[in-house]
């Protein structure tokens, strides 16, 4: 059956290794010289030239009817249908007489919306990655009849020719919505696999009235659910991995009329300089069999890893099944959220550590997706730079942003969800002058939110932004809750506050025609 299915895709004359167990995939990884087994059991691999996603090399095939719904942008660049078909034929021709690893699983924990996913890869560790990251089918009978809905062909060693293929480089990630198909080549970075599936889901689920979210989620022992939005470096994974709460998922979720569900079956955590003290749950996964450590440095003799070594990349990653975390929500499915927490790394030090958002402000900050880059995080960045990623996941949002924002606003109001903006960046001044708020204080703020201990605290109003922030938070010094009181130079504070506000307003201009007046009124006023 698998041969016939692949033949329909044009893949013929190949050697198939399908749905291998983790120990067998370990053997294949070592035999193929794709990686090394580390002390205590994880497997350490390299992704090659690309150690992160390549948004400039990502495309969507432009064709009817999907082209009318796609948000065409720098993240969603159009690719001609005829060019895609030619490149596809070149890829499947390249695969002939080669060994392929096939892994079958599902995206979406809610059975009502579940989508079968098949990852066809050249590297064994990519097959293990798919086994970790997607929901598994354990029934052998169902596996024998498995019919994929979303199909990925992953060929890292196949390099495109830009002059011939119409790509921007040798690397490419091309989504075909009509065929529910993804081509990935020229890059071995495994994050492209998971984010390609997420991008597909982000296209199909909103058509069914389901909101897709680039967020982590957890649940308290009383069943209260919290969503955490945040871009890389804001603490989304760290803060949702709480020993006192149950993890639903660390990165991708959906919100239907039935509640919140994980889209994945695993986690993909950044592990550079991972601390056992600050992040004990994630740290333990780096010492377990089945975990993939991508671009982590390993001593080839002792086989011990060094999580502090960034000589390969700052973007070192661990892929592991969610069951590696001891406290999880069985089935990765829970009720509607009680709290939504939007995390931002404000390197300018002007936003409060915590602010409460009304529904209109929540939609505004969701569409804005603000954080900041600092020197050393990206080539050419010498001083703090405001950056915006709508819906806190612009590169993966394939429909127009207002589609997601409208769904979010409707669900917030329907379920009476409380929304918060939490600054995990700088206090007492901006980058180079102030200091980053400690993880201890941020955890205390999160705990106070989730325990309802900020609900009756008096609020002050932040100038320009109109944010309401509490005067008191348990286990957090009062003097850091008010940013304008922390700065020695009050005029310098207001100047920097207005500078950030201008960046917000300029960024939001592209959304103004899509949103209601109440959301527009949530903008900074200066």
Task: Give the Cα separation of 457 and 337 in Å (integer).
Answer: 22
| Cα distance between residue 286 and residue 318, in whole Å | 7
Whether 354 and 423 have beta carbons less than 8 Å apart is answered as yes
In a domain, 144, yes or no: yes
Is residue 383 predicted with pLDDT exceeding 80? no
The dihedral sign for the CA sequence 364, 365, 367, 371: positive
- 3-state DSSP assignment of residue 497: helix
On whether residue 72 sits in a domain, the answer given is yes
The pLDDT mean for the chain works out to 95
Counted domains in the chain: 2
Among candidates 373, 375, 357, 353, which has minimal Cα distance to 365? 357
> What phi, psi does 11 have (nearest 5°)?
-95, 110
CA-to-CA distance for 427 and 430, rounded, in angstroms? 7
Nearest residue to 254 via CA among 362, 129, 407, 388: 407
- Please check whether residues 348 and 486 belong to one and the same domain: yes
Decide if pLDDT at 514 tops 90.
Answer: no
pLDDT for 376? 42
Helical (H) or strand (E) element with 454? none
Mean pLDDT of 323-327: 94
* φ and ψ at residue 318, rounded to 5 degrees: -125, 125
Strand partners, 99: 15
Q: How confident is the model at residue 513 (pLDDT cuts 50, 70, 90)?
A: confident
Q: Is pLDDT above 80 for 248?
A: yes
Active site residues per annotation: 53, 195, 214, 232, 236-237, 251, 317
In 3D space, the residue among 180, 202, 182, 205 whose CA is nearest the CA of residue 192 turns out to be 182
The enclosing domain of 468 has a CATH number of 3.90.228.20
Q: Where are the beta strands (DSSP E) in 347-413?
A: 354-357, 370-373, 385-388
In the prediction, which pLDDT does 431 show?
85
Structure tokens at 502: 């201008």
Residue-wise pLDDT for 256-299, tens only, equals 999 999 999 999 999 999 999 988 999 999 999 999 999 999 99
Kind plus residue range of the DSSP H or E element containing 256: strand 252-256
Q: What is the SS3 assignment for 478?
A: helix
Q: What percent of the chain has pLDDT over 90?
A: 90
b/e map 22-36, b = 16+ CB within 10 Å = beebbebbeeeebbb
284 within a domain of the structure (yes/no) = no
The residue to which tokens 């075909």 are assigned: 176
In angstroms, rounded to a whole number, what is the distance separating the alpha carbons of residues 315 and 364? Answer: 30
Q: Distance from CA of residue 202 to its chain's centroid?
A: 12
Cα(295)–Cα(226) distance, rounded to whole angstroms? Answer: 31
End-to-end CA, the chain: 65
Mean pLDDT, rounded, for 463-470: 97
- Whether 235 is covered by a domain: the verdict is no
pLDDT over threshold 70, residue 382: no
Q: How far apart are CA 16 and CA 1, in angstroms?
A: 12
Sheet with 150-155, edge to edge strand ranges = 15-18, 99-107, 115-121, 150-155, 181-185, 172-176, 58-62, 77-80
Structural domain includes residue 37: no
Q: Compute the average pLDDT of residues 443-462.
A: 96
Helices (H), 330-400: 359-368
β-strand 370-373 against 385-388: which pairing, if any? antiparallel
Domain edge (last residue) among 208, 242, 269: 208
140 located within any domain: yes
pLDDT at 384: 75
- Distance from C-alpha of 55 to C-alpha of 298, rounded to nearest angstrom: 28
Write down the pLDDT at residue 469: 97
Return the biggest CA–CA distance within the chain.
Answer: 71
Q: Which segments of 300-380 does DSSP mark as H helices, in order?
A: 359-368
261, part of any domain: no
Region at 448 (left for phi over 0; alpha for psi -120 to 50; beta for the rest): alpha
Token pair 């390609």 in the structure block, residue: 196
Regarding whether 506 and 360 lie in a shared domain, the answer is: yes
pLDDT over threshold 70, residue 461: yes
Report the alpha-carbon distance of residue 197 to residue 154 in Å, rounded: 12
**Residue 377 clears pLDDT 50, i.e. is over it:** no
Q: How high is the pLDDT of residue 375?
A: 46
Axis crossing angle, helix 22-31 with helix 124-133, rounded to the nearest 10: 150
* Alpha carbons 346 and 395: distance in angstroms, whole number: 21
pLDDT band with cut points at 50, 70 and 90 for residue 385:
confident
Q: β-strands 266-270, 317-321: how paired? A: antiparallel
DSSP letter at 142 equals H
Q: Mind listing the pLDDT tens digit for each residue in 121-136?
A: 999 999 999 999 999 9
DSSP calls for 161-225: -HHHH--SSS-EEEEETTTTEEEEES---THHHHHHHHHHHHHHGGGGTPEEEEEEEEE-TTS-E
**SS3 call for 442:** helix
CA 456 to chain centre: 33
**Domain of residue 167, CATH code:** 3.40.449.10
The per-residue pLDDT for 344 is 96
Residues 253/286, Cβ–Cβ less than 8 Å:
no
Tokens of 203: 């296209």
Domain presence at residue 127: yes
pTM, to two decimals = 0.93
Whole-angstrom distance, CA of residue 70 vs CA of residue 177: 10
Work out the average pLDDT over 300-326: 96
Q: Are residues 340 and 204 in the same domain?
A: no
Percent with pLDDT over 70 in the chain: 98
Query: Minimal CA–CA distance to 201: which of 117, 120, 299, 284?
Result: 117
pLDDT digits (tens, 9 = 90+) for 161-204: 999 999 999 999 999 999 999 999 999 999 999 999 999 999 99
Residues of the domain holding 375: 336-520
Q: Which residue, of 165, 182, 208, is where some domain finishes? A: 208
Residue that is last in its domain, among 208, 235, 259:
208
pLDDT per residue as tens digits for the range 67-79? 999 999 999 999 9
């Amino acid at each position: 059956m698998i041969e016939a299915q692949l033949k329909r895709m044009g893949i013929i004359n190949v050697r198939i290794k399908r749905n291998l167990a983790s120990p067998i995939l370990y053997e294949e990884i070592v035999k193929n010289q794709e990686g090394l087994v580390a002390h205590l059991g994880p497997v350490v691999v390299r992704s090659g030239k690309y150690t992160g996603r390549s948004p400039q090399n990502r495309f969507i095939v432009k064709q009817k009817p999907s082209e009318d719904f796609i948000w065409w942008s720098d993240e969603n660049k159009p690719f001609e249908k005829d060019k895609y078909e030619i490149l596809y034929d070149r890829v499947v021709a390249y695969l002939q007489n080669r060994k392929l690893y096939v892994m079958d699983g599902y995206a979406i924990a809610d059975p009502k919306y579940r989508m079968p996913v098949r990852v066809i890869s050249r590297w064994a560790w990519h097959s293990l990655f798919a086994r970790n990251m997607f929901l598994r089918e354990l029934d052998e009978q169902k596996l024998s009849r498995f019919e994929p809905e979303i199909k990925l062909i992953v060929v890292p060693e196949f390099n495109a020719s830009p002059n011939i293929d119409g790509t921007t480089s040798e690397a490419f990630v091309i989504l075909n919505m009509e065929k529910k198909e993804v081509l990935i080549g020229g890059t071995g970075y495994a994050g492209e696999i998971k984010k390609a599936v997420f991008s597909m889901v982000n296209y199909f689920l909103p058509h069914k009235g389901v909101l897709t979210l680039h967020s982590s989620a957890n649940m308290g022992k009383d069943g209260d659910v919290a969503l955490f939005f945040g871009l890389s470096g804001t603490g989304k994974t760290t803060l949702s991995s709480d020993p006192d709460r149950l993890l639903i998922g660390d990165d991708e979720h959906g919100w239907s009329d039935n509640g919140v569900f994980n889209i994945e079956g695993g986690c993909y955590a950044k592990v550079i300089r991972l601390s056992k003290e600050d992040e004990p749950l994630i740290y333990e996964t780096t010492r377990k069999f089945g975990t993939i450590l991508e671009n982590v440095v390993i001593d080839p003799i002792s086989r011990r890893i060094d999580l502090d070594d960034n000589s390969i990349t700052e973007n070192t990653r661990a892929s592991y099944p969610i069951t590696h975390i001891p406290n999880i929500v069985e089935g990765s499915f829970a009720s509607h959220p009680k709290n939504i927490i939007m995390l931002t790394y404000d390197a300018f030090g002007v936003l409060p550590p915590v602010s409460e958002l009304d529904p209109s402000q929540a939609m505004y900050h969701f569409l804005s997706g603000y954080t900041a880059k600092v020197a050393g995080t990206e080539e050419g960045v010498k001083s703090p730079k405001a950056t915006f990623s709508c819906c806190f996941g612009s590169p993966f949002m394939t429909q127009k942003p207002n589609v997601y924002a409208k769904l979010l606003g409707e669900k917030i109001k329907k379920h009476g969800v409380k929304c918060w903006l939490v600054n995990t960046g700088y206090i007492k001044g901006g980058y180079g002058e102030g200091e980053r708020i400690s993880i201890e204080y941020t955890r205390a703020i999160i705990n106070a939110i989730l325990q309802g201990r900020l609900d009756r605290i008096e609020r002050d109003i932040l100038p320009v932004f109109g944010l309401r922030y509490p005067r008191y938070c348990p286990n957090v010094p009062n003097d850091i809750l008010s940013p304008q009181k922390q700065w020695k130079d009050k005029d310098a504070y207001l100047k920097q506050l207005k500078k950030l506000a201008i960046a917000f307003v300029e960024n939001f201009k592209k959304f103004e025609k899509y949103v209601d007046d109440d959301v527009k009124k949530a903008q900074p006023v200066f």
